[in-house]
Amino acid sequence: MPRTIWSGAISFGLVTVPIHVVSATEDHSVRFHQYHLEDMGRVRVRKYCELEDREVTQDEIGKGYELSKDTVIPVLEEELRELPLPTAKAIEIEAFVPLASIDPMGIGEGYYLQPDGQVAAKPYKLLRQALERSSKVAVAKYAWSGRERLGMLRVREEAIVLHAMRWPDEIRDPSELAPPGIELSEDEITEAEQLIDRLTRDDLEGEEFQDHYTEALHEVIEAKQEGHAPPESRETEEEPGKVLDLMAALQQSVAKAKASRGESGEADVHELPRKKTPARKTAKKQPAKNKKTSAKTTAAKEPTKKTAAKKTTPRKPRRSA
């Protein structure tokens, strides 16, 4: 189990649950150091005091609030830990709400809450089961690293998870980002819905949800370690800057999604009203031709035999004359 990040308690009405906070995620990304390329000497960031013009150690460094260029108020870690806030040592649950009522934009990093000892085991399980049966999440406040934060508690399997959250005023209004004057046809929306249906699944397991970037980095490092050239990058089929027809792109995406699932046939990809529009156009043009031809054909059927007999007999004398 990872190390404890914070120790305190969950305050649930008059119930207190002592807990340890541990990280719920792991970072598997490849990390690089900075080096001088000429001789591969390690480049480090050193901390200097501007007044004494010397490097200082971490023990000599603290926090300070700058009132002006000449006035700085020092703030000690002990003073931050002793802030007169109930959330400084406890996660105070303020309300229970449906998960759907919380904007995912405000949900951040997740942490596991581990019960601290046998005394905390029963109230911990009580809160977990109550959350699970209610199908709700708890919104709480807590204080870490010198600031009060908003958090969300939810159930994940047998554990309670704390998600850091942003305060509502920290989320920017996206209304000004909406493109104005854009209209979509029903055919385009229907095709997009078909694409969503084709890409819908019940889990996030599979090769497409693996970190291929980190795998590629390992291949580059291993190749250079063995003295080989790094693997060449794969060229994408799409041409940059090429403007595609939106409907055609959607239909091709649906067909590609079907093919990736092993479904054969593309007849149902074009089941939209748009497919019928060419038939309507040709249906309009065809009758126009048929009217002329039908008029000719009707005139060329029964009447033609009679008129042909009448016309052919008088033409002979004219030609002879």
Q: Which letter does DSSP use for residue 202 in this model?
A: S
Task: Map out the domains of the chain as residue ranges.
Answer: 4-25+64-167, 185-198+247-260
Average pLDDT over residues 110-116: 94
CA angle 299, 302, 304 (to 5 degrees): 55
Q: Is the dihedral of CA 74, 79, 81, 84 positive or negative?
A: negative
Q: In the numeric block, which tokens belong to residue 87?
A: 């959330």
Are the beta carbons of 223 and 230 closer than 8 angstroms? yes
Region of 210 (left: φ > 0; alpha: ψ -120 to 50; beta: rest) is: beta
Cβ neighbors of 94 (< 8 A, separation 6 or more) are 139, 140, 141
Cβ neighbors of 25 (< 8 A, separation 6 or more) are 109, 110
- Distance separating alpha carbons of residues 125 and 17, to the nearest angstrom: 10
Is the pLDDT confidence value at 285 over 80? Answer: no
Which of 30-34, 37-41, 133-137, 230-234 is predicted least confidently? 230-234
Which position has the higher pLDDT, 116 or 83? 116
Q: Render pLDDT for 10-62 as a digit per residue (tens, 0 to 9).
A: 988 888 999 999 999 888 888 899 999 999 999 998 999 999 999 999 999 99
The predicted pLDDT at position 130 comes to 94
CA angle 151, 169, 166 (to 5 degrees): 25
Average pLDDT over residues 71-76: 91
- Distance separating alpha carbons of residues 230 and 236, to the nearest angstrom: 18
Name the residue type at position 72: V
Is the pLDDT confidence value at 299 over 60? Answer: no
Average pLDDT over residues 234-251: 64
- Distance separating alpha carbons of residues 48 and 61, to the nearest angstrom: 10
Q: Which letter does DSSP use for residue 86 in this model?
A: G
Cβ neighbors of 256 (< 8 A, separation 6 or more) are none
Largest CA distance in the chain: 131
Mean pLDDT of the residues in the chain: 79
The predicted pLDDT at position 310 comes to 43
Is the pLDDT confidence value at 4 over 80? Answer: yes
- Distance separating alpha carbons of residues 182 and 166, to the nearest angstrom: 32
Average pLDDT over residues 144-164: 91
- Distance separating alpha carbons of residues 36 and 50, to the nearest angstrom: 25
| Residue at token pair 């209209």 | 183
Chain centre to alpha carbon of residue 165: 18
Which of 31-40, 85-94, 114-123, 162-171 is predicted least confidently? 85-94
Topology at the third CATH level for domain 4-25+64-167: Ku70; Chain: A; Domain 2 (2.40.290)
- Nearest to 111, CA basis, from 26, 6, 22, 4: 22
Beta strand spans in the chain (E): 4-12, 15-23, 35-36, 41-42, 48-49, 54-55, 63-68, 71-75, 90-98, 107-115, 136-144, 147-156, 159-165
CA angle 77, 82, 87 (to 5 degrees): 110
Q: Which letter does DSSP use for residue 87 in this model?
A: G
Cβ neighbors of 3 (< 8 A, separation 6 or more) are 22
Instruction: With cut-offs at 50, 70 and 90, classify the pLDDT of residue 77.
Output: confident
The predicted pLDDT at position 311 comes to 44
- Torsions phi, psi of 89, nearest 5? -125, 5
The predicted pLDDT at position 35 comes to 93
Is the pLDDT confidence value at 321 over 90? Answer: no
